[in-house]
Structure 1
Amino acid sequence: MAELRREPSRRNGVTMVNSEPTCELHLRMSGQSHDLTLRLHDDAPSEDEVATWMREGLVIPLHVSESGSSALRTVLVNFATVAIASLLPYRAGRGVDL
């Protein structure tokens, strides 16, 4: 079973982050032609964790930030609707280090 992650402290309802994302999670939702890219903060999930979330159809809270923003938000991802997922290391600038 997935473990919930602690949310960073909030100031005035907005969570600000001082660190780079730990990785990028690319998701292709069933029936969609494009990937959704999430810049994850906190500990990066393993491929086995993501596979378990997909196999069990879990809804998982993830801490993400958008490119060019230091605001952190929590999104709930329904892994029952994920067809393809890939984890990539995060690298400032280009976004990923292939």
Structure 2
Amino acid sequence: MANSEPTCELHLRMAGQSRDLMLRLHGAEPTEDEVAGWMQDGSVIRLEVSEAGSHQVPHSMLVNFGSVAFAWLVPFSAGRNVMF
């Protein structure tokens, strides 16, 4: 997976924060229902992510979805010109 393209972007707004966190996800893309379940259950989920604007290999990140106020998924586009 070291050279794989991201499958989607996961945007998160953590409770008490005024800015969103954008994670470029690698591997299987979660569904909206999965993300909603993680938030409802307050789950800590291990995700494979890479940093925007870099060529770093994907790495694991643990996300506490119990602290997420809202979230949305966006298809990945290297040029950031995603049309909805």
Q: Normalising by structure 1, report the TM-score.
A: 0.79
Unaligned runs of 5+ in 1: 1-7, 9-16
Structure 2 gap segments, 5+ residues each: none
**Which one has a bigger Cα radius of gyration?**
1
Aligned residues: 83
- Indicate if the aligned counterparts of 1:28 and 1:83 stay in contact, CA closer than 8 A: yes
TM (norm. structure 2) is 0.91
The structure with higher relative contact order (CA 8 Å, sep 6+) is 2
1:29 and 2:14 aligned: yes
Asked if 2 retains the 8 angstrom alpha-carbon contact of 1:40 and 1:65, the reply is yes
Name which of 70, 78, 81 aligns with 2:64. Answer: 78
Q: Give the Cα–Cα distance (whole angstroms) in 2 for the partners of residues 45 and 95 of structure 1.
A: 21
Mapping of residues 5-16 of structure 1, within 5 Å: none
RMSD value over aligned CA atoms?
1.3
Identity of aligned residues (%): 59
**Superposed structure 1 runs of 4+ greater than 4 Å apart:** none
CA distance in 1, matches of 2:9, 2:81: 8
